[in-house]
Amino acid sequence: MNEPLHRRKGSLPATVKAVLWGFLGVRRQADYQKDIAQLNPLHIIAVGVVMAFLFVLALILIVNWVAG
């Protein structure tokens, strides 16, 4: 049986990889199922929020650079 959600460890690189694939919107079903079984959902949310913030920050910096 699967571990409870709060007890799943998962590694940071695996979590970042899963979030990046999610940003791109492409992922094999087998890899998706593996991520669901191994990764902690709270870690995925935290990494997703941080990466979204960094993406918006990068866009702002690029626009300021181009417009300036």
pLDDT of 2 > 70? The answer is no
The rounded mean pLDDT for the chain is 87
pLDDT tens digits, one per residue of 5-32: 556 677 889 999 999 998 888 888 898 8
H/E stretch holding 68 reads none
Q: Please state the pTM of the whole predicted model.
A: 0.76
pLDDT of residue 42: 92
Return the closest-CA partner of residue 23 out of 2, 44, 1.
44
Q: Which residue has the tokens 């199922």?
A: 33
pLDDT class of 64 with cuts at 50, 70, 90: very high
Mean pLDDT of 32-46: 90
